[in-house]
Amino acid sequence: MKRSEINNAIRNSINILNDNHFRLPAFAYWTLEEWEKHSLELENLKIIQLGWDVTDFSMNDFAHTGAVLFTLRNGCHNDTNYGTPYAEKIIILLHETQQQIPLHFHKMKTEDIINRGGGILVLELFNSFSDGGLDRESDVIVKMDGLIRTLPAGSIVEIEKGDSITLQPGLYHRFWAKKGAGDLVVGEVSSINDDSFDNVFYDVNTRFSVIEEDEPIFAPLSNDYD
């Protein structure tokens, strides 16, 4: 992705969050000069990778496959001195292009995916085989706000504002913003998040994008603080 595309995506996401009356922590809005002033305070934030995360999964089609995320809380599997024993994210998805996070599952992480505001969240669900393959036959069992539902493989589920779905390790899922329903603010509350090893994508190889620096940074990403 070009840095200009990332900068524009962050600015647009701030506007969407403002429209939904959702305020991020103060450091989300720091200028680069403010980052410099706080440089000696950032060890915890860097290690658990709090902050902005913009990715097109190296598909070069951010409008359709990609997302803006902001990690509010996270921890470290190897050192409990850092962060929290859980994670929380906000994810912004655009409805006009049905912008999606592509099909994947997590090896360790259990997560609640919550419609925090804006539009309608849509998910597609499959089980996985023990070798990581996609199971297109067996029923999927999920909890939705504590209620247990059994769904056919490949089911499409819509999550209205305030509602949620719990995704267990090994459950393939992709999700997007329903076209015409408005840009979407998704919440994620989960066990500790580690994007370096815990994601298994069905047809995407790269979690983070390679960045082409075509203009100055508006806000640093959590994976390029250094």
Within a domain: 220: no
User: Token digits for 70?
Assistant: 């902001």
Residue with token string 């505001």? 117
* pTM score of the predicted model: 0.95
What does the buried/exposed string (b/e) look like for 103-133 if buried means 16 or more CB atoms within 10 Å of the residue's CB? bbbbeebebbbbbbbbbbbbbbbbbbeeeee
Give residue 81's pLDDT band: very low, low, confident or very high (50, 70, 90).
very high
Pairing of strands 155-159, 67-75: unpaired
Within a domain: 61: yes
- β-bridge partners, 87: 190
* Radius of gyration from C-alpha coordinates of the chain: 17
Within a domain: 166: yes
Within a domain: 224: no
Within a domain: 225: no
Residue type, 33: E
User: What's residue 224's pLDDT?
Assistant: 86
Residue with token string 């403002």? 18
User: What's residue 207's pLDDT?
Assistant: 85
The Cα–Cα gap between 160 and 59 comes to 28
Query: Backbone dihedral region of 182: left (phi > 0), alpha (psi from -120 to 50 degrees) or beta?
Result: left
The dihedral of CA 38, 43, 47, 48: what is its sign? negative
The contacts of residue 204 (CB under 8 Å, 6+ apart) are 57, 58, 59, 65, 102, 104
Q: How much of the chain exceeds pLDDT 70, in percent?
A: 100
Domain count, the chain: 1
Q: Is the pLDDT of residue 226 over 80?
A: no
Give the Cβ contact number of residue 154 at 10 Å. Answer: 14
Q: Residue 27 sits in a domain of what CATH number?
A: 2.60.120.10
CB 2 within 8 A of CB 212: yes
Query: Backbone dihedral region of 162: left (phi > 0), alpha (psi from -120 to 50 degrees) or beta?
Result: left
For residues 40-68, average pLDDT: 95
The Cα–Cα gap between 217 and 16 comes to 20
For residues 145-161, average pLDDT: 97
User: Token digits for 169?
Assistant: 């390790």
The Cα–Cα gap between 55 and 57 comes to 5
Domain assignment of residue 94, given as a range:
3-201
Within a domain: 212: no
pLDDT per residue over 161-207, tens digit each? 999 999 999 999 999 999 999 999 999 999 999 998 899 999 876 88
Within a domain: 210: no
